[in-house]
Structure 1
């Protein structure tokens, strides 16, 4: 089993670890929404005289207002929140190219009877739109943008997800793709499985290229056990 102090590594045929609850990021982890994110945020960057490529390095994992605060640090936060509402509406309406991450449908089926929650920087409307577009079941327990006062990389969302499921942070594993999300999970005292090419650079406890590389079982105590496929 991995602890948070162990050296990060790519998942091989070895066991990743045993956990009691799962906390799942959405974009980049369960759903590939990169096409929409790039369209919307490249347009936003151009409108504000910013480098689109540099902007996209900040966007992933954060709520929109938090991205704006990083890129336009002198702008009033109220303006960021107002503009974020407009971008959320654009992203919710634009589902072209939204698809499941490889292995996501089978992964969601495999964990259906295990304690799990969606913890996403999307709001409820965007989360439902993208999960539906990708053909994925929406977890009953969800921590969305409306549920928290601070965006990832703040750990609030993951801590709230663990609390709603009734487990200590140390008993939870997070599935994430972004630097902001992995940082938030670590700050929450949780172990992290990085999913996809972005995640490898940010020191998750284990890393897989996609969800086809994982299998999920349960031991006699009901604890979820994850190993690379």
Structure 2
């Protein structure tokens, strides 16, 4: 059975949606957490989808935010350098190719350097528009990044479809007033409007003033 959604723009998360960086993300975060005696499961439930400084603030609520910002920058530098094992999510290259003449953007909690490193490691093309950590004041689950992307594209949020894997990202898309398609095994628990195991289940077909997203 095929589900069809009409849209005028697609907004794509990166980690867990376009690229699989789980191994390196979890390894670096667990290394960071060990000296603080933090529970492994709590750390892994917290860090996905958010900017690092916000994850640190949640995990260590009494700590000086300045320290979080400094450690987050060091974490980003390491993540940008350590890309072994980063690969494309199945269907990501084909999806980006099908969107090349349609309004779309990456909306990621990574900074430009990390986005460029991971997309390059996964051999995926960068989008013309990318809303990265440098461009927002609030991390996901705040909807700012998605709303900024819609504004930059000149598309009403209600006509945008978001592809996301994490709880923070799915919440951000929903709160932005957009249709959210959850990607991957964990996405259904965060109540996206639709769900796919990976991006091979997605087809983009031009239609009228926009296009159809067909979910198989």
Q: Give your verdict on TM over 0.5.
A: yes
Q: Which whole-Å CA distance do the structure 2 matches of 1:177 and 1:198 have between them?
A: 7
The equivalent of 1:56 in structure 2 is 44
1:130-156 CA deviation, whole Å, 9 max, x = no partner?
001000010010100000011000111
Contact 1:41/1:52 (CA < 8 Å) preserved in 2?
no
- Shift >3 Å, 4+ stretches: none
The equivalent of 1:200 in structure 2 is 188
5 Å matches for 1:72-83?
72-83=60-71
Q: Which whole-Å CA distance do the structure 2 matches of 1:205 and 1:100 have between them?
A: 24
Structure 1: 5+ residue stretches without partners? 1-11
Under a length normalisation based on structure 2, what TM-score does the superposition of the two structures give? 0.98
The equivalent of 2:89 in structure 1 is 101
Structure 2: 5+ residue stretches without partners? none
The equivalent of 1:227 in structure 2 is 214
- SS for the counterpart of 1:216 is strand
1:21-62 CA deviation, whole Å, 9 max, x = no partner?
111000000000001101100101112211122201101000
TM-align CA RMSD: 0.8
Q: Which whole-Å CA distance do the structure 2 matches of 1:47 and 1:165 have between them?
A: 43
- SS for the counterpart of 1:152 is coil
Q: Of 22, 29, 41, which aligns to 2:17?
A: 29
* Number of corresponding residues: 216
